[in-house]
Amino acid sequence: MSNNRLSQETSPYLLQHKENPVHWWPWGEAALEEAKRSQRPILLSVGYSACHWCHVMAHESFEDQATADLMNDLYVNIKVDREERPDIDAIYQSALALLGEQGGWPLTMFLTPDGAPFWGGTYFPPSQRYGRPGFPDVLRSIAEVYRREPDKVQRNVTALMGGLAKISSNTAGNTITLEQITSVAERLVREVDPILGGIGGAPKFPQPSIFQLLWRAWLRTRVPAFKHAVTVTLNQMCQGGIYDHLGGGFARYSTDAEWLVPHFEKMLYDNAQLIDLLTLVWQETREPLYEARIRESVGWLMREMLAHDGAGGFAFASTLDADSDGEEGKFYVWTEAEIDRLLGTDAALFKRVYDVRPGGNWEGHTILNRSHHPQPLSAAEEATLARCRELLRRAREPRVRPGWDDKVLADWNGMMIAALARAGVTFSEAAWIDAARSAFEFVRTRMTRDGRLHHTWRHGVLKHPASVDDYANMAAAALALERATGSPDYRDQAVAWIDVLDRHYWDPEAGGYHFAASDTPALIVRTKAIHDNAVPAGNGTLVDVLARLYLLTGEARFRDRADALVSAFSGELQRNVFGLSSLLNGVETLAAALQIVIVGSRGEAATDRLVKALDGLSLPTAVVSVVSPAAALPPGHPAIGKGQTDGKATAYICRGQSCSLPITEAAALSAALHLR
């Protein structure tokens, strides 16, 4: 009988390792108990299914019998999917950083039997190369140190655990002003490449939260540099190789500074954030390129990323791998000969526009892009290019497809649900809103047990306690759906989730929400974060959610909690402004929300026209209330007591405690908001 215990797991990443000769354990109390019983250290390996170097290390080391024998003899080996257990990953990535190493995946950490880290790294080759020691040598030397030098191990443990305690605490401060937010935007905009967009050089990541911060700064100040930073970045990404010009959707990042060569994996969270940002910017610019990329990316989502439950329900899957048939990007790249054969007389035009060269533009192949021909051609030429793209998309379908990780994650689904709801409203696409509603119901029902959200679902199996990110993003999705549909049930659900957060995640001493719940088992520390990474920090997202709940309900407890949340982390502004975009965007909503009240009944033409007038405007801080003439606004609302004019549906625009004169025409409402 195999001692590899991963065959009963649901994670596609863990199941990729179920045939390894390594005696893998999943993370949990049983694995820790085995380490204590056998008095062996733990080798913790963390990765995810779309990770290229995770596949490389698995093939080189974990599939090798001699290496596996070493691992099995010297260690209790635990394999973790970072997407399933972001709480575990966050702890040990932080420990690696404290060791002075750059984090990443695969993460390879060495722990005491009670889970305390004492040394680690990322990828190790099977023999010494790349300036790295060979993995078998690492295994032997660490085991020897653990056995012969326990005092040295304990010193490392003490130092790392002390460091983890410090970085898991928050830096409190005072309130954050709009002037401070603008100053941060001024600091960040100087980091943006003015020609190619993006921040820094290679590799370049999309970083949507930062660019939303800059876009909000543009809307607030009309300083041209803010707008340029956002639009040049979106233009370059939308025409670069990081975008899949045949199938839609963005890859996770570009390995170069020109957005040409992607790391080919496609992540749900990146595409959710980019659809949302493109929608927000399109509302102001009406740039056709942005609408095209939104529509194409939603098409990819609905075609390739639906995870069904077998009973008619669905939510959104997590990732598409970078590799096909063991080669990174193989599914996506082309040769000139293939293009010539498939496109015939149209090949010359297509090759000129999409950078198809005799020797390719990457490792002998071509990554399709329009970076050098971004401007639209004639209508006839664009129609020809569209036919060519569709022909090529169909032609690549029989290729070996990238691996598909079909597990459903609550937090990533929350981001995509909100993005779809907002894009559906903006582009009058009821089907997108319906898809968002369906995915929301899936998470609310399939991924909830005993009133508590869980983090992951796959093939009918619900696993792992929810993180603060799960609750934050699903609450934000609920409010986006309330805005899109008018149903108050979504707001009620958001309130219920906030109540769970307050009971199980809030730190009553220092403030802020812990990443993991108070009853999450087998954690050596509860982290607490405000800095955005690839996804927005849950604490930052919650400032916006709490601000909106306060403005919609008038309940002071939401405002008080939002203020306490800001105070708990505002001291970070004095340390590092990078990664605080979600917090600062939430603070702007809290401090300067645009409250729009429409007094009228939904479903009536005049009311719906006023609501529709808002849909195409870039109003990230808008909080919209549609109230029937007989209903009352919450106590303290600036528009309380205001009603209809001459029996017509009537809108009011409020900032602070001041409201506009009544507006009854959609065109006048749109004009007033443009002049705000």
Residue where one domain finishes, among candidates 124, 144, 167: 167
Percent of the chain with pLDDT over 70: 99
In a shared domain, residues 517 and 647: no
In a shared domain, residues 151 and 300: no
CA dist., res. 455 & res. 243, Å (int): 29
- pLDDT higher than threshold 80 for residue 618: yes
3-state secondary structure 430-451: HHHHHHHHHHHHHHHHHCEECC
Predicted local confidence at residue 1, as pLDDT: 37
Residue where one domain finishes, among candidates 592, 620, 643: 592
In a shared domain, residues 481 and 385: no
CA dist., res. 84 & res. 405, Å (int): 11
The amino acid at 636: G
Rama region for 24: left / alpha / beta (φ>0; ψ in -120 to 50; rest)? beta
- Compute the Cα dihedral for 574, 472, 412, 524 and give only its sign: positive
DSSP string, 337-374: HHHHHHHGGGHHHHHHHTT--TT-SBTTBB----TT--
Question: Is the residue at 208 inside a domain?
Answer: yes
- pLDDT higher than threshold 90 for residue 2: no
Report helix angle 135-148 to 65-74, nearest 10. 10
Alpha-helix residue ranges (DSSP H) falling in 168-306: 178-189, 208-221, 224-239, 268-285, 288-304
In a shared domain, residues 342 and 302: no
CA dist., res. 455 & res. 462, Å (int): 8
Question: Is the residue at 203 inside a domain?
Answer: yes
Q: Could you tell me which of 164, 163, 237 has the C-alpha nearest to residue 199?
A: 237
In a shared domain, residues 159 and 31: yes
In a shared domain, residues 23 and 156: yes
CA dist., res. 595 & res. 586, Å (int): 15
CA dist., res. 602 & res. 600, Å (int): 7
In a shared domain, residues 599 and 544: no
CA dist., res. 167 & res. 163, Å (int): 6
CA dist., res. 466 & res. 580, Å (int): 23
Determine which helix (DSSP H) or strand (DSSP E) holds 15, and give its type and residue range.
Answer: helix 12-15
Q: Could you tell me which of 4, 84, 6, 80 has the C-alpha nearest to residue 43?
A: 80
Name the band, by pLDDT with cuts 50, 70 and 90, for residue 674. confident
Chain centroid, CA 5 distance in Å? 30
Question: Is the residue at 1 inside a domain?
Answer: no
Number of structural domains in the chain = 4
CA dist., res. 541 & res. 586, Å (int): 7
In a shared domain, residues 296 and 344: no
Question: Is the residue at 646 inside a domain?
Answer: yes
Question: Is the residue at 187 inside a domain?
Answer: no
Predicted local confidence at residue 64, as pLDDT: 97
Question: Is the residue at 181 inside a domain?
Answer: no
- pLDDT higher than threshold 90 for residue 325: no
CA dist., res. 59 & res. 305, Å (int): 27
pTM beyond 0.75, yes or no? yes
Q: Looking at 22-36, 407-421, 475-489, 628-642, which range is the least confident one?
A: 628-642
Residue where one domain finishes, among candidates 572, 592, 612: 592
In a shared domain, residues 219 and 126: no
Q: Which domain holds residue 83?
A: 12-167
- pLDDT higher than threshold 90 for residue 384: yes
Name the band, by pLDDT with cuts 50, 70 and 90, for residue 676. low
In a shared domain, residues 459 and 495: yes
What does the pLDDT average to over 624-648? 93
CA dist., res. 157 & res. 239, Å (int): 48
Question: Is the residue at 176 inside a domain?
Answer: no
Q: Looking at 138-152, 283-297, 627-641, which range is the least confident one?
A: 627-641
Question: Domain with 152 in it: what CATH number?
Answer: 3.40.30.10
Question: Peptide bond before 262: cis, by omega within 30 degrees of 0?
Answer: no
pLDDT in tens, 528-576: 999 999 999 999 999 999 999 999 999 999 999 999 999 999 999 998 8
CA atoms within 13 A on the CB side of 533: 10
- pLDDT higher than threshold 70 for residue 675: no
In a shared domain, residues 518 and 667: no
Chain centroid, CA 300 distance in Å? 17
CA dist., res. 208 & res. 363, Å (int): 29
In a shared domain, residues 410 and 448: yes
Name the band, by pLDDT with cuts 50, 70 and 90, for residue 326. confident
Question: Is the residue at 82 inside a domain?
Answer: yes
- Compute the Cα dihedral for 183, 184, 185, 190 and give only its sign: positive
Question: Domain with 534 in it: what CATH number?
Answer: 1.50.10.10
What lies within 8 Å, CB to CB, of 377 at 6+ separation is: 353, 385
Determine which helix (DSSP H) or strand (DSSP E) holds 267, and give its type and residue range.
Answer: strand 266-267
